[in-house]
Structure 1
Amino acid sequence: MTSHDLDPRTPIVVGVGQSAERLDEPGYRRRSPVELAADAAAEAIADTGADPAAVAAAIDTVAGTRQFENSMPMARAPLGRSDNFPRSVAARAGVAPRRAVLEVAGGQSPQHLVNEFAAAIAAGSCDAVLLFGSEAISTIERYAKAEEKPDFTEHVDGDLEDRGYGLRGLVSMHQAAHGLTDAASQYALFDNARRARLKQTRQEYAASIGALFEPFTKVAAANPHAAAPVERSAAELVTPSAANRPIADPYTRYVVAREKVNQGAAVLLTSVGAARRLGIPAERWVFLPGHADLRERDLMDRADLSAGPASVLAARHALEVAGIGMDEVATIDLYSCFPAPVFTVADAFGLAADDPRGLTVTGGLPFFGGAGNNYSMHAIASTVQLARRSPGSYGFVGANGGTMSKYSAGVYTTTPSAWRPDDSAALQREIDSWPAPVEARQADGWATIETYTVRHARDGKRTGIVIGRLESDGRRFVSRTDDRDATMVELLGADEPIGKRVYVRSFGFGNRVAVSPEAMDALFPASPAVLGERYEHILVRRDGHLLEVTINRPEARNSLHPMANDELDHAFTAYFADPDLWVAILTGAGDKAFSAGNDLIYSASGKPMWVPKNGFAGLTSRHGMTKPVIAAVNGFAMGGGCEIALACHLVVADETAKFALSEVRVGLIAGAGGVVRLPRMLPPKLANEMILTGRRLTAAEGLAHGLVNRVTPAGEALAGARQLAAEILDGSPTSVRISLQVMEETRGIPDVVDAVTHHSPALDELMISEDAIEGLTAFAEKRRPRWRNR
């Protein structure tokens, strides 16, 4: 096929550009991310070899990758940023596009954008597309706390197709609670699993990492855009030193992505027809004969943590679409934020570390620089330039995002190539059908280590993170070591921890792993299930068989932080364990609020957050609540406070009480049981309205709809609860307890007759109980029974 035979809609790359600057070097100008991207975009337009003004005028679509400071909801921009990055860059490059796109986060995004917009050009929905991205992390970090700092804030009018962060399945509160918040720790799990699969020692594997990346340093040293253009030997790369400190086993600083960069890159796509109209010489045209985009299963759903089969499938499919094999490729760039993604694809295609073609065209993320989500835009730009220098050759780019989660691949060549659609959708369906291990979010018992890492802080603190399998049922779990447990950390530093037997136990703050049950008990001694003499955040009062618990944080409207939750959990555990306590009342101090729910000020402080295993206030997730708990609601029961009331068996509210699930108003949901319990207690439409709008329900409305048992005058909720408790205490505590137990056992039986005929062992206990005999005897003797709760 010649260029004259091509469909005019065939997509091609016609221009590429890169920009960079390093601190304290000649020419350093403190460029903002917008300016770095605009510099690269201008270079890409000029790279077409046609009239720059005409090319710029022809661009109808621009798309930008996200900066790190805009890649997570909680990310911040210390020097400010543009509120419309694509249009800010476009304006500087003299482009007035009709469509502007801000892509999701992830290192796959540059190649994915090329694949997506090449297909769009082929379909006729656009004609010329400018892609770009940048990072100015070095500059931002240097000047973030300076007295005189640049202001990178920009406001640009015009529509923006903001695709969001794209983090679904990549960010997990459960994993974060176990230390899996940084990329190095997550990727280290893959490399350690691979090492164990290959049966290599730590020293052998470190040597293989050094051998893999030594050639990368040579490429970076020759690249004028590289952030760290220094050649290093294999041994130097993996030998710990003051400059090369351990990050997360098996990684040292030199072999992980270098985020401190000031870099921008851009790629310009057009149709063949547009290139001809603009006078772009055919020798500038580079085709995309092969391409693919796939997503791996979420971390805990992967059958094998030592490999990345979805990445391999994407790479293989891109080559298949191009009609070539990896042996026919002249240049290769494998995404190299950490060793694992490189090893994954290299293993599949038999690529050696010393392959004469090399495995990077830039120098890789640790040495050229990990320009955030935009690294592969540089790889594409370099691949295009190399393809032009060797007409007819093929270049391969593999772009990785998340934790080997998303993989986009592209094949580039100057050989005229018709557009060929890929079949990634069918492959994705296959991936999604792969069986996944069952996860134990609360893991307890003996287990074996499946993979692990030890994270090293700058202050020398070490934290072990373990993914393992429970011996009892094979379920997979994630856990971490306790900060006081040097023994477990030492085990993870042994010759081969994988496969070793360990002990795991779940807590409200997550799963913890130790070498044995005895070691676990020493770290977390069992707390006696008896009421404490004094608590810091709650008050407790015994009155015969009645327990009164008061949330004592009136200055915070009795909202709950982790410590208050723990105290409530302890008090209610003691209540349910004490045979002499038969009824409990929960209320709030003061007259303003029963509880305003979760302490949002504490939550926003960045301090550690957790909830007991038994749930909010030690009640919302508690099983076996076979003794009554009465909520005495004085004032507001908002958010989690309402959820606590819903978890109680009975509710007495004063006439000032207001009930609301207000979480949607602060960007949360009523996840402590509110979205489950409320629709089971109220008419569905009313429950829906409360959940979706945060509507407040008065005490009178709560009484009318069955949410509240009794309403008292203002300030009398506790007195009303005491009266209700006294009425319960008139009955047999054994009967009350077994009634609640049978109610709970039959709650999930939909057929009424099946529920009625359900046999509970508790009924047998009742018939031989002292209370049953006492009740009948007292009735016959016409006296008040003397209950014993047995």
Structure 2
Amino acid sequence: MTSPVPPTTPILVGVGQASERLGDPDFTGLSPVDLSAHAARAALHDTGVDAATIAAAIDTIVGVRQFEHSTPRAHAPLGTSNNVPRSVAARLGVQPEHAVLEVVGGQGPQHLVNEFARRIADGDNEVVLLTGSEAISSVRHFAKADQRPDFSETVEGTLEDRGYGLTGLTSSQQLSHGLMGAPSQYALFENARRARLKESRADYAASMGKLFEPFTAVAANNPHSSAPRTMTAEELVTVTERNRWIAEPYPRFLVARDQVNQGAAVLLTSVAAARRLGIAEDRWVFLHGHADLRERDLLDRADLSRAPSAVMAAEHALEVAGITVDDVATFDLYSCFPIAVSNVADGLGLAADDPRGLTVTGGLPFFGGAGNNYSMHAIAETVQRCRANPGSHGFVGANGGQLSKYSVGVYATTPTEYRRDRSAEIQAEIDAWPAVDNAAFPDGPATIETYTITHARDGRRKAIVVGRLEATDERFVANGLEDDDELVEFLATADEPIGQPIFVRAFGFGNRVTLTADRMRELRPVRAPGFRDSYEFVEVARDGHLLEVTINRPQARNALHPPAHEELEEIFDAYFADPDLWVAIITGAGDKAFCAGNDLIYTASGKQSYFPRSGFAGLTSRAGMTKPVIAAVNGYAMGGGLETAMACHLVVVDSEAKLALSEVRVGLVAAAGGVVRLPRQLPVKTATEMILTGRRLGAQEALERGLVNKVTPAGQALAGARELAAEIMAGSPTSVRVSLQLMNETEGIADTIAAVTHRSGALDELMIAEDTMEGLSAFGEKRPPQWKNR
């Protein structure tokens, strides 16, 4: 019977899957591209029409990103294609007009169905092939072999590479606190949900096992499953050597399984194209409802125990389809971790033992988490079930990020014209929700909002805590101290850690929590300002009231790494606390460089790279610098080196000096004050040019433009800085200090008169200072003043 729908109505006409397992007799070690191509051929054959005829009609091929293409640092040990979609197309013997590589995220396959269904409905496309795969199991296996296959290939042709799409899915706060892996992120949500439900650890573990036990039964009967074995709820949650902890409350059996070799593909056409190609109507499946929504960024969410946007997407897709949850025959709720299922099931009122089941594949921990492409398998299974039970509805929910993105499709064989959704309108509502205030440098008493403990294979445990400051209710993320077993044991054994008091302190390398302030003081005593006898990376010399600080890493052109930053912070803390030191000079050892900036070799080694709270060189983020610091720039001041010099009150350079913010040349940004200070110290156009190009400024030009105070002959920058320091020390150190304080206090006051009339306690100090009286007396008595700095 001819369907009474417009000719541009989008339909799914072919689905295919491919898989292989290590150890199986027919294992051949297919590459990811080969797996995608096998699945694509299966989808073409699934149309019931000659595959070559269908392939020739494809106008667009879209690839779901593999893990090895999913982050800037991802590695393909056996090589990869430069253009995966066109590599697949080449195996099919076709050259589609368009090739697309989708962004990262498990929402991708369902989002692509939604997107290209709309484009077909709008007449922009007619025949679209969606495909994706992972061969992680084979890649890991062959990477250890003496003879390894080469999966690299180069194909010609255009590609719309949409990028990684990681914006909002990661942050420097998460990175510096080990909150990058999916298990630790989802464990935070899971523990928050358990606390909200007021369940014990044992009861909640049992409920996770009960939720996933039926999934294992489905996986056991799926020929494409990577782990086809039925397990009991107790087996799933009982920690053993094989089922070890990953991130509490998750043992390994509850975590998405990436050790897979799986591919899947879906073919979409318009009704008109299907008729032209001779695809029988019993192969047609219609997209009845759909939605795509995104959650707030992880640390901005009001409630870490829920992801309401996913529920809203599910409800809206059902609304578009014109049905209720009771009308759905099959579900596949994305199941990377239990909460990804329970979050949506809670919102839709679905029980863990719903007789319809919550998966059609067996779920990511058991069927397999084929990277970003898992839901392509769910769609393929759903299409087959819709065909087997005409008129029934199948629901696919696809999740990406950290419960971040959710795409939904509702499918049925019943003909229906394309229905547009209101996802953009609903997304605007979500985006307007207020964000939780976050504290970048939290200090003081706090309470635990949620937590997890990650477990390394060697037994090391790491506490990750999200907390709220008692004073401000600001949220923060922190770790436990490496030597604090007390916190880890409390999180692992307390009846309910969430809501309990803790103490947090911010360090340059990250935020750290202990159970009490006394415990923090015991493990990390606050260092009283003072100088050591010697330093490893810095030399310090006192000459009366003058302090000279020399960065002593000439072999690295005085580039700085975290241990050097820590020493410089300690030194300048001591300088500003010592009343007998009135002026400081910072310079670099040797005659080649003042400071070449960040030690990129150290950074590239994979070691943690950070600045102390006072910033690069202990200066660039230091507030209240009320004693002069002079930069004596000998040679190059690049990147962080120039940022350090600009943070100083005065700058003396030798004639050979070269100054630049060179970060853009190595893919970085001058975030240690360079992009802020340079436009305030130079004409904006000049500063912008330097920031965007990395252009070097010579000594004379820097002087002419006002970036430096003085140019000396080559090799004489330190001598010139000493002369300038002597001129400063001829004046009252109290007057110098108060002058700098007044400058600091009024810097942000735009109105001149308001700044001039600003009341400052520093002036009250000056009125009663001994140095003030001494200066006036010495002037009247026509003698040199004897300053006391008090």
* Structure 2 length-normalised TM: 0.99
Match of 2:448 in 1: 449
Match of 1:575 in 2: 575
Match of 2:534 in 1: 534
Q: Contact 1:3/1:416 (CA < 8 Å) preserved in 2?
A: no
Give me the whole-angstrom Cα distance separating, in 2, the residues matched to 1:416 and 1:5. 7
The one-letter amino acid paired with 2:618 is: G
Match of 1:288 in 2: 287
Q: Contact 1:51/1:278 (CA < 8 Å) preserved in 2?
A: no
Aligned-pair CA distance for 1:679: 0.3
Give me the whole-angstrom Cα distance separating, in 2, the residues matched to 1:502 and 1:763. 41
Structure 1 residue 62 corresponds to structure 2 residue 56: no
Offset from partner CA, 1:687-734 (integer Å, 9 cap, x none) = 010000000001101100110100000000000000000000000000
Match of 2:765 in 1: 765
Match of 1:620 in 2: 620
Give me the whole-angstrom Cα distance separating, in 2, the residues matched to 1:433 and 1:298. 13
Match of 1:337 in 2: 336
Match of 1:647 in 2: 647
Match of 2:710 in 1: 710
Aligned-pair CA distance for 1:528: 2.3
Give me the whole-angstrom Cα distance separating, in 1, the residues matched to 2:48 and 2:484. 64
The one-letter amino acid paired with 2:311 is: V
Match of 1:230 in 2: 229
Give me the whole-angstrom Cα distance separating, in 1, the residues matched to 2:3 and 2:648. 77
Give me the whole-angstrom Cα distance separating, in 2, the residues matched to 1:752 and 1:531. 41
Q: Contact 2:746/2:758 (CA < 8 Å) preserved in 1?
A: yes
Q: Contact 2:3/2:415 (CA < 8 Å) preserved in 1?
A: no
Match of 1:680 in 2: 680
The one-letter amino acid paired with 1:267 is: V
Aligned-pair CA distance for 1:57: 0.5
Q: Aligned to 2:14, what secondary structure does the other structure show?
A: strand
Give me the whole-angstrom Cα distance separating, in 2, the residues matched to 1:95 and 1:232. 44
Aligned-pair CA distance for 1:395: 0.2
Give me the whole-angstrom Cα distance separating, in 1, the residues matched to 2:100 and 2:345. 33
Match of 1:313 in 2: 312
The one-letter amino acid paired with 1:227 is: S
Q: Contact 1:585/1:631 (CA < 8 Å) preserved in 2?
A: yes
Match of 1:115 in 2: 114
Give me the whole-angstrom Cα distance separating, in 1, the residues matched to 2:94 and 2:321. 32
Give me the whole-angstrom Cα distance separating, in 2, the residues matched to 1:402 and 1:778. 71
Match of 1:96 in 2: 95
Give me the whole-angstrom Cα distance separating, in 2, the residues matched to 1:624 and 1:513. 27
Q: Contact 1:594/1:634 (CA < 8 Å) preserved in 2?
A: yes
Give me the whole-angstrom Cα distance separating, in 2, the residues matched to 1:462 and 1:264. 35
Give me the whole-angstrom Cα distance separating, in 1, the residues matched to 2:224 and 2:24. 13
Q: Contact 1:335/1:364 (CA < 8 Å) preserved in 2?
A: yes
Aligned-pair CA distance for 1:4: 3.0
Give me the whole-angstrom Cα distance separating, in 2, the residues matched to 1:88 and 1:390. 36
Computed over aligned residues only, the root mean square deviation of the Cα atoms, in angstroms, reads 0.7
Q: Contact 1:289/1:322 (CA < 8 Å) preserved in 2?
A: yes
Give me the whole-angstrom Cα distance separating, in 2, the residues matched to 1:300 and 1:528. 34
The one-letter amino acid paired with 2:230 is: E
Matched ranges for 1:456-605 at <5 A: 456-493=455-492, 494-605=494-605
Instruction: Rate the CA distance shift 1:3–1:645 in 2: closer, same or farther, 3 A.
Output: farther
Match of 1:184 in 2: 183
Give me the whole-angstrom Cα distance separating, in 2, the residues matched to 1:312 and 1:659. 54
Aligned-pair CA distance for 1:94: 2.3
Aligned-pair CA distance for 1:436: 1.2
Give me the whole-angstrom Cα distance separating, in 2, the residues matched to 1:108 and 1:32. 23
Give me the whole-angstrom Cα distance separating, in 2, the residues matched to 1:701 and 1:3. 79
Q: Aligned to 1:5, what secondary structure does the other structure show?
A: coil
Give me the whole-angstrom Cα distance separating, in 1, the residues matched to 2:733 and 2:569. 22
Match of 2:743 in 1: 743
Aligned-pair CA distance for 1:3: 4.4
The one-letter amino acid paired with 1:490 is: E
Matched ranges for 1:17-416 at <5 A: 17-416=16-415
Offset from partner CA, 1:534-587 (integer Å, 9 cap, x none) = 100010000000000000000000000000010011100100000000000000
The one-letter amino acid paired with 1:646 is: M
Offset from partner CA, 1:573-621 (integer Å, 9 cap, x none) = 1000000000000000000000000000100110111110000000000
Q: Contact 1:63/1:86 (CA < 8 Å) preserved in 2?
A: yes
Q: Contact 1:333/1:379 (CA < 8 Å) preserved in 2?
A: yes
Give me the whole-angstrom Cα distance separating, in 2, the residues matched to 1:391 and 1:608. 57
Aligned-pair CA distance for 1:477: 0.6
Q: Aligned to 1:330, what secondary structure does the other structure show?
A: strand
Match of 1:670 in 2: 670
The one-letter amino acid paired with 1:610 is: Y
The one-letter amino acid paired with 2:785 is: P
Q: Aligned to 2:3, what secondary structure does the other structure show?
A: helix
The one-letter amino acid paired with 2:507 is: F
Q: Contact 1:556/1:599 (CA < 8 Å) preserved in 2?
A: yes
Match of 1:724 in 2: 724
Aligned-pair CA distance for 1:145: 2.9
Give me the whole-angstrom Cα distance separating, in 2, the residues matched to 1:349 and 1:419. 24
Q: Contact 2:205/2:249 (CA < 8 Å) preserved in 1?
A: yes
Q: Aligned to 2:85, what secondary structure does the other structure show?
A: helix
Moved more, 487-496 or 628-637: 487-496
Offset from partner CA, 1:96-141 (integer Å, 9 cap, x none) = 1100000000000000000000000000001000001000000111
Aligned-pair CA distance for 1:24: 1.1
Q: Contact 2:66/2:133 (CA < 8 Å) preserved in 1?
A: yes
Give me the whole-angstrom Cα distance separating, in 1, the residues matched to 2:139 and 2:423. 38
Give me the whole-angstrom Cα distance separating, in 1, the residues matched to 2:642 and 2:41. 57
Q: Contact 2:222/2:367 (CA < 8 Å) preserved in 1?
A: yes
Give me the whole-angstrom Cα distance separating, in 2, the residues matched to 1:186 and 1:576. 41
The one-letter amino acid paired with 1:587 is: T
Give me the whole-angstrom Cα distance separating, in 1, the residues matched to 2:451 and 2:619. 34
Q: Contact 1:63/1:102 (CA < 8 Å) preserved in 2?
A: yes
Offset from partner CA, 1:672-698 (integer Å, 9 cap, x none) = 000000000101110010000000001
State the aligned residue count: 789
Give me the whole-angstrom Cα distance separating, in 2, the residues matched to 1:665 and 1:116. 37
Give me the whole-angstrom Cα distance separating, in 2, the residues matched to 1:119 and 1:375. 22
Give me the whole-angstrom Cα distance separating, in 2, the residues matched to 1:754 and 1:137. 65
The one-letter amino acid paired with 1:184 is: P
Give me the whole-angstrom Cα distance separating, in 2, the residues matched to 1:179 and 1:410. 34
Q: Aligned to 1:626, what secondary structure does the other structure show?
A: coil
The one-letter amino acid paired with 2:140 is: E
Aligned-pair CA distance for 1:525: 1.4
Aligned-pair CA distance for 1:260: 0.3
* Structure 1 length-normalised TM: 0.99
Q: Contact 2:107/2:407 (CA < 8 Å) preserved in 1?
A: yes
Q: Aligned to 1:4, what secondary structure does the other structure show?
A: coil
The one-letter amino acid paired with 1:597 is: G
Give me the whole-angstrom Cα distance separating, in 1, the residues matched to 2:89 and 2:575. 66
The one-letter amino acid paired with 1:71 is: S
